[in-house]
Structure 1
Amino acid sequence: MFISSSSFVDKTAPRLLELSRRAHTVLVGPSTPLPPMLFDYGVDTITGFVVTDPYLLDRALAGVAVKAMFEAGHRIHRDRPGS
C-alpha cells in the first residue's frame, strides 16, 4: 500500500498505517519524513527527497527551470531493516 506523506498533514497517517498492517507499506512523497522510527509504526519502505540546492529547487518550483527539480537534490530510499 502506498501512503502519501501528506497523510501526516491531514492526520490520516495513523489510520492508514493501521489499515495496512498486513500489507507492504510504502511511504512516498517529496515531503516524506525520513526517521527510521517510522518502521516501528508499520512502514516497510520510506522514499523521499532531500534538497541539496535550495536556490535551484526554488527556480524549478517557480517554473523557471522545471527540468532542474531533481538536480536540486537526491531521492532517498530506505527499507525496514531485515526485509
Structure 2
Amino acid sequence: KALSLVPQSDVVGITGTAFTNHTIEHLLSLCRPEAYVVILGGTAPLSPVLFDYGVDAVSGTKVVNPEAVLRCVSQGATFRQIKGIRLLTMKK
C-alpha cells in the first residue's frame, strides 16, 4: 500500500523499524518534497542527519537512567511501563 498511499500524503509517519528492515530509503523516496515527514518510535535514531534526507521531525526515546531501564526491561516491562526514559522530538 505504501506505493499508492505515500506519494499522495501530506504527512508521512515512518517508524524507526524502517532502518532495521532496510526500507527507509525506499519509503523516503516515495514522499513528495512538500510532504511533512516524521520518523518516530522507540527505534527512531535521534540524529539531525535525517534532516538532510527530507525528514522534518524525529520523535524517539533517550535513556536518561540506564539502571532503571535495565531493571524494567529485565522484569518484562512494556514500553509504557519503562522508567528512566525521556520522549524527545527534534524538528528541522
Q: Which TM-score applies when normalising by structure 1?
A: 0.81
Using the TM superposition, give the Cα deviation of residue 60 of structure 1 relative to its aligned residue in structure 2, in angstroms: 2.0
Instruction: Report how many aligned residue pairs link the two structures.
Output: 79
CA RMSD for the aligned pairs? Answer: 1.8
Identity %: 32
1:34: which partner in 2? 46
Is 1:51 aligned to 2:63, yes or no?
yes
Change in Cα spacing, 1:65 to 1:29, as seen in structure 2 (3 Å) is closer
Tell me the distance in 1 between the aligned counterparts of 2:57 and 2:21: 20
Q: Secondary structure at the match of 2:46?
A: coil
Using the TM superposition, give the Cα deviation of residue 64 of structure 1 relative to its aligned residue in structure 2, in angstroms: 6.0
| Residues 37-72 of structure 1: per-residue CA shift (max 9 Å, x gap) | 100101111111110112211222234666651x31
Tell me the distance in 1 between the aligned counterparts of 2:17 and 2:71: 23
- Superposed, which structure 2 residues align to 1:3-82 within 5 Å? 3-22=14-33, 23-63=35-75, 68-69=81-82, 71-80=83-92
Change in Cα spacing, 1:18 to 1:56, as seen in structure 2 (3 Å) is same
Structure 1 unaligned regions, length at least 5: none
Q: Secondary structure at the match of 2:20?
A: coil
Using the TM superposition, give the Cα deviation of residue 27 of structure 1 relative to its aligned residue in structure 2, in angstroms: 0.3
2:9: which partner in 1? none
